[in-house]
């Protein structure tokens, strides 16, 4: 079997970028109604930037243009503008990615096949890495604590704009990128669902690594996770839990600002 790196490199050369591991969502996170449909690349506009941030292919660092669903690209642009303001990293001007649209062939089991998914490898200012989603490279190194905090601050902010955000906690295929799509949240911002594993994971990771709350990463909204998230909300002057969309977004925005100091 071809390695992921060789597969990606070959498909980029042919103009059809494939990303393993980004497939149909789990049952609780499956888009409603229906599932992704394949969209021909010819129907999708091509972009070499997101909100002015130049797009590069993560494996070779070269500039690339990718095909996006028009509405999804607008959402990415809105996220990017919001993230730069929230993070204070206004000099960020480049996103290293594994791409957006891929050819679904005879199966449509990913929002990549509709141009409604995007994979982020690194965020840069010029050649300088500001946030690395390459957990496969920094895990176990001396830089891990600081890089992990920046990773989760970025992931938390992505969760505001997209309900389906896959990190290295989701599975091993996502150790070198964060996957986002709008299959669950559509054209709007996200809302919290306690049965969503990926949303609970960001609550637990943010509570543990950004707010220093003692919570295990289980993917389940257990008593300890509720206690930790309520403690964070209480420190923000908010009552109630994450079921309130205002509280959910306040939690994520606070997390987005914590890992960058």
pLDDT in tens, 85-124: 999 999 999 999 999 999 988 888 899 999 999 999 999 9
Between 30 and 191, residue with greater pLDDT = 191
At 28, list the tokens. 């609780």
Tell me the DSSP string of 210-249: TS-------SS--HHHHHHHHHHHHHTT--S-TTSHHHHH
In which region does residue 117 sit, left (phi positive, over 0), alpha (psi from -120 to 50) or beta (all else)?
Answer: beta
| Cα 178 to Cα 32: distance, rounded to the nearest angstrom | 22
pLDDT in tens, 224-254: 999 999 999 999 999 999 999 999 999 999 9
Check: CB of residue 220 under 8 Å from CB of residue 199. no
CA 260 to chain centre: 17
DSSP assigned state of 146: H
pLDDT in tens, 207-218: 999 999 999 999
Check: CB of residue 8 under 8 Å from CB of residue 17. yes
Closest listed residue to residue 126, CA positions, set 81, 84, 95: 95
The dihedrals phi and psi of 109, each to the nearest 5 degrees, come to -115, 15
DSSP assigned state of 56: E
pLDDT at residue 12 greater than cutoff 80: no
Tell me what pLDDT residue 260 has. Answer: 76
Tell me what pLDDT residue 109 has. Answer: 85
Average pLDDT estimate for 115-142: 97
| Cα 112 to Cα 118: distance, rounded to the nearest angstrom | 7
């Amino acid at each position: 079997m071809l390695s992921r790196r060789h597969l990606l490199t070959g498909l980029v050369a042919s103009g059809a970028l494939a990303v393993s591991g980004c497939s149909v969502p789990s049952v609780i996170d499956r888009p409603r109604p229906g599932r992704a449909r394949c969209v021909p690349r010819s129907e999708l506009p091509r972009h070499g930037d997101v909100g002015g941030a130049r797009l590069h292919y993560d494996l070779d660092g070269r500039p690339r243009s990718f095909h996006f669903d028009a509405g999804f690209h607008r959402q990415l642009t809105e996220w990017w503008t919001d993230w730069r303001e929230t993070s204070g990293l206004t000099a960020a001007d480049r996103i290293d990615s594994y791409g957006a649209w891929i050819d679904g062939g005879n199966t449509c089991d990913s929002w990549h096949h509709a141009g409604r998914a995007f994979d982020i490898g690194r965020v840069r200012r010029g050649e300088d890495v500001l946030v690395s989603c390459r957990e496969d490279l920094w895990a176990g190194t001396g830089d891990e604590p600081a890089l992990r905090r920046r990773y989760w601050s970025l992931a938390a902010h992505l969760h505001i704009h997209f309900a389906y955000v896959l990190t290295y906690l989701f599975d091993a295929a996502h150790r070198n990128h964060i996957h986002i799509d709008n299959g669950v949240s559509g054209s709007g911002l996200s809302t919290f669902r306690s049965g969503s594993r990926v949303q609970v994971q960001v609550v637990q990771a943010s509570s543990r690594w950004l707010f220093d709350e003692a919570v295990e990463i289980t993917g389940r909204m257990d008593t300890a996770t509720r206690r930790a998230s309520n403690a964070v909300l209480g420190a923000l002057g908010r009552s109630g839990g994450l079921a309130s969309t205002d509280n959910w977004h306040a939690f994520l925005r606070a997390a987005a600002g914590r890992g960058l100091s």
